[in-house]
Amino acid sequence: MKIDRIETFQVEWPHEGVPYPRSAFVRVWTDDGLHGIGEASPMRGGLASLGMIVHDIAAEAIGCDPLDHAVLHDRLLHKFVKLGPDGALTGALAAIDIALWDIKGKMFGQPIYKLLGGAWKTALPFYASIGGNGIERSLDDVLRIVERRLEDKPAAIKIRFDNGRVKLDDDIPDHLAKARAVRKLVGDDFPLAFDANNGYSTGGALRVGRALEDLGYWWFEEPVQHYHVKAMGEVAQKLSITVSAGEQTYTTAGLVELIEAGVRMIQPDIVKMGGITGLLRCAALAQAHGVELVSHQTQPTIGHMANMHVAAAQMHATKPIEWNDPTDRTHGIFDRVPFPADGKFHLSDRPGLGMDFDEAAMSECRIEVAG
């Protein structure tokens, strides 16, 4: 069996006046008619990754055996490394890898988690990841949104303070007031996490982190700029709350730097680095270092499903999986999408990823990326 062709396209989601980013998808076909689906990180619609697939990767991949996906991944990463190992290239390789695992599952008639050696559990608790809680949102609105997300029965809630990353330590009193109010709303025992999205200096992060410790928060995510690896480690080592980072790290070597600096919870993202093959390597790395791996995942369809297969196969799954703010992107163009029931996501025993495009619905919002 050989890879025969690769479709690259964006999907523009239906929305009500809100400019959702486009998603970046691939569909890989084999010469005997099987296909697999994959997703790249959708930064700016994923155009950079899809362009690399069209211009550079497709010619190398076509004709290869889809079961050689790890060899293909490493060969292409090294061949095109000067396009940038961080970001666009690793997102492109992630999309191809996920699609090839989907094909492999269909070839063997098994769900991907079986091909990974089996699932520790197929019912996965999740945490509700709630973005946009900065100064632009009132404290009351933050509480109303948290209340609404609690209806889905998450195992934990993470409040994110998304920001432009060009100012540090802005609005710390506002952030702390919201962290306190959310704690009061959910009670002392409900697990909470706080995502700074790189918004603080080292001193600011220590101040916020100590307040979060007093409030009993579970983890403190990306307190300082992601590229200040030593500072991230310093904050992690000086606080007792778990400090996490790694959603903007694209290589296993980069994750090692974070771990060596002192970070004890890493958050690589399956659509940003290496796909299923890449995330498995991250899991081995975390396991070997005694570090928690709690993968970042904010894409609601293919990325989420691929991430769940790896999470299900992970022994030390110390924290629930991420479920981002619900959007229209969970509807419409797939035959089934991951959606929780009674507080958990349930993996099926369908082959491969266990989901596929609804061809008619997808074609209406599909935008070709042909180079």
Q: Which residues bind Ca ion (CB under 5 A)?
A: 195, 221
Residue at token pair 């890989």: 28
Give the closest residue to 211 by CA, choosing from 189, 186, 182, 190: 182
CB 118, min distance to Ca ion, A: 29
Q: Write the DSSP assignment of 321-334 as a string of letters.
A: EEEPPP-GGGSSSB
CB 150, min distance to Ca ion, A: 20
CB under 8 Å to 32, separation ≥6 — which residues?
A: 1
Q: What is the DSSP letter of 296?
A: B
Amino acid at 142: V
Q: Which is nearer to Ca ion, 318 or 363 (CB)?
A: 318
Q: What is the DSSP letter of 14?
A: P
CB 333, min distance to Ca ion, A: 26
- With beta carbons less than 8 A apart as the criterion, state whether 47 and 65 touch: no
CB 245, min distance to Ca ion, A: 9
Distance CA 4, CA 271 (A): 23
Q: Which is nearer to Ca ion, 7 or 222 (CB)?
A: 222
Q: Which is nearer to Ca ion, 52 or 239 (CB)?
A: 239
Q: Which is nearer to Ca ion, 39 or 221 (CB)?
A: 221
CB 197, min distance to Ca ion, A: 6
Give the closest residue to 186 by CA, choosing from 227, 152, 163, 156: 156
Q: Which is nearer to Ca ion, 23 or 129 (CB)?
A: 129
| Ramachandran category for residue 83: left, alpha or beta (phi over 0 → left; psi -120 to 50 → alpha) | alpha
CB 267, min distance to Ca ion, A: 7
Report which residue's Cβ sits closest to Ca ion: 195
Q: Which is nearer to Ca ion, 36 or 233 (CB)?
A: 233
- Rg of the chain over Cα atoms, rounded to whole angstroms, equals 20
H helices within the chain, ranges in order? 47-52, 58-61, 69-79, 88-108, 112-115, 139-150, 172-186, 202-214, 229-238, 252-261, 275-289, 302-312, 359-364
- φ, ψ of residue 144 to 5 degrees: the values are -65, -40
CB 298, min distance to Ca ion, A: 8
CB 103, min distance to Ca ion, A: 31
CB 195, min distance to Ca ion, A: 4
What are 255's two structure tokens? 């994750």
Distance CA 237, CA 258 (A): 12
Q: Which is nearer to Ca ion, 297 or 314 (CB)?
A: 297
Q: Which is nearer to Ca ion, 97 or 221 (CB)?
A: 221
Q: Which is nearer to Ca ion, 131 or 326 (CB)?
A: 131
- With beta carbons less than 8 A apart as the criterion, state whether 30 and 6 touch: no
